[in-house]
Amino acid sequence: ARSYNITLLPGDGIGPEVVAVAKDEKLMGGSALDATGVPLPDETLSAAKDCDAVLLGAIGGYKWDNNEKHLKPETGLLQLRAGLGVFANLRPAAVLPQLVDASTLKKEVAEGVDIMVVRELTGGIYFGKPRGFGTNDKGEDTGFNTEVYSASEIDRIARVAFEVARKRRGKLCSVDKANVLEASMLWRRRVTALASEFPDIELSHMYVDNAAMQLVRNPKQFDTIVTNNIFGDILSDEASMITGSIGMLPSASVGESGPGLFEPIHGSAPDIAGQDKANPLATILSAAMLLRYGLGEENAAKRIELAVTETLNQGFRTGDIYSPGTTLVGCKQMGDEVLKTV
């Protein structure tokens, strides 16, 4: 058996609980701010760059909400994504048969939903320059950001998305706002051009406002979605809520090479932190994605995923996915039950 070097970043709020299997932990987020004055210490970034994969819990909390930008936990996360060059963020949103009732959508609409959102993660309006605060010609304060994509940034994320679609049901929907934004027009043009390299994939295009509607109207129409950083932020959260159990959903962020970043899609939930109430399954499933996409250990990934399914079949539920007739457990016990069945 090979041994790997994994950097664990428990983060803030319920983060430390959900990654309590921790080994080689480094500080990041609000906890790093409190201890070192910056949200992503150099030491954390170099450890992350030097290891095989990074597992992150969650970051942020009320305490740091009004901090200036460079002192926000979120800024540390963006620096980490950029520092690792993980431009492709894979966010599955699948409705598990055991949890179909957890969705607010009607059973016949939610049942069988299985979407993968491929979100561009290191470009667009999150990182575009110029950005900042200014004064306009009337002497008024302004705030501004730049949405910008280059051809190669679009090509590389589109390529990942085509490949992902190929391993799934062969359908790719590219989401943009090409009827208004130049950045989206280039996006659509490049994605369309790449399609000839993937003749087996059925490519479609959809405007972002329509996509936000279609996810509610008929989420089953989607297989793989590819979109920019900000639209991906919005749509992947919407898609995840359609499953009814965001406490269950993992994510993987990968680059051309180097360690990937794996994290649950839920936030740090400061309101329930430290109460043993959080659902650790999203983090456990992120560890499975880490094995699959980060280390190429498909079998190990499958074993973890099966253990999660088995634990759900045994009826164990944390509060967020509890329904009458199942067994309510805390964060720690849920983790233990999965470990037992692995």
Ligand X SMILES: CC(C)[C@H](C(=O)O)[C@@H](O)C(=O)O
Q: How many of the chain's residues bind its own copies (CB under 8 A)?
A: 62
Distance CA 170, CA 3 (A): 34
Query: Closer CB to ligand X, residue 142 or residue 179?
Result: 179
107 burial via Cβ count (<10 Å: 0-12, 13-18, 19+): exposed
Contacts 24+ apart (CB under 8 A), 181-186: 181/147, 183/124, 183/147, 183/148, 183/149, 183/228, 184/228, 186/149, 186/151, 186/154
Sketch the per residue contact string, 178 through 217, with ligand X: x for CB under 6 A, - otherwise. Answer: -xx----------------------------x--------
| Minimum gap (Å) between residue 14 Cβ and its own copies | 16
If one asks whether residue 204 binds its own copies (CB under 8 A), the answer comes out as: no
Site for ligand X (CB under 6 A): which residue of 12, 233, 320, 337? Answer: 233
If one asks whether residue 125 binds its own copies (CB under 8 A), the answer comes out as: yes
User: Which residue type does 325 have?
Assistant: G
Give the residue numbers annotated as catalytic, written as ranges.
126, 177, 209, 233, 237
Torsion 328-334-336-339 (CA) sign: positive
CB 32, CB 39: distance < 8 Å: yes
Site for its own copies (CB under 8 A): which residue of 20, 71, 94, 185? Answer: 185
If one asks whether residue 176 binds ligand X (CB under 6 A), the answer comes out as: no
CB 61, CB 44: distance < 8 Å: no
Contact set with ligand X (CB under 6 A): 74, 77, 179-180, 209, 233
Contact set with its own copies (CB under 8 A): 60, 69, 72, 74, 78, 104-106, 109, 125-126, 128, 131-133, 136, 138, 140-152, 177, 179-187, 208-210, 212-218, 230-231, 233-238, 240-242, 246
